[in-house]
């Protein structure tokens, strides 16, 4: 049995805008039974977690990670911004290099 998964199930269900009834019907259980899983009153089996993951089209591991912070994100909070800035600078430099190449090529053609 997997404990303390209810909040994760509620979170993914709400992001997909699906009712408890739809999930319960697909699992073959009552809405009350599914509600008890989300509220933590009832534990859920690995088999049911796999079925729920299939409903949302995610892996069971990703389903279990919902709401958890990635430790790398905490270590490097500005990493994406820094990478985007580097990419922009690289693209700007690449454009300048192409412009310089065109100038040099044009000058060589004029000399010949």
Count: domains in the chain: 2
Q: Is 33 in the same domain as 52?
A: yes
Residue 45 lies in a domain: yes
Query: What is the value of pTM for the model shown?
Result: 0.57
Q: Give the pLDDT score at 71.
A: 47
Once rounded to an integer, what is the mean pLDDT over residues 41-51? 89
| CA dist list (Å): 32 to 16, 25, 35, 79, 91 | 20, 11, 5, 44, 56
Once rounded to an integer, what is the mean pLDDT over residues 36-41? 92
Q: Secondary structure of the chain: what % helix, strand, coil (to 5)? A: 75, 0, 25
Q: Is 52 in the same domain as 101?
A: no
Q: Give the pLDDT score at 3.
A: 60
Once rounded to an integer, what is the mean pLDDT over residues 72-78? 59
Residue 26 lies in a domain: yes
Residue 1 lies in a domain: no
Q: Is 15 in the same domain as 56?
A: yes
- Comparison of pLDDT for 65 and 21, the residue scoring more: 21
Residue 83 has pLDDT above 50, yes or no: yes
Domain that holds residue 54: 6-65
Q: Is 43 in the same domain as 93?
A: no
């Amino acid at each position: 049995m997997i404990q303390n998964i209810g909040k994760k199930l509620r979170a993914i269900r709400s992001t997909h805008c699906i009712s408890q009834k739809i999930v319960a019907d697909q699992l073959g259980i009552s809405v009350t039974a599914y509600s008890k899983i989300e509220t933590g009153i009832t534990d859920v089996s690995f088999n049911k977690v796999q079925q729920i993951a299939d409903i949302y089209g995610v892996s069971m591991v990703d389903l279990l990670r919902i709401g958890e912070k990635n430790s790398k994100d905490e270590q490097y909070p500005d990493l994406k911004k820094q990478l985007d800035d580097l990419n922009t600078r690289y693209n700007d430099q690449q454009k300048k290099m192409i412009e310089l190449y065109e100038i040099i090529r044009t000058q060589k053609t004029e000399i010949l």
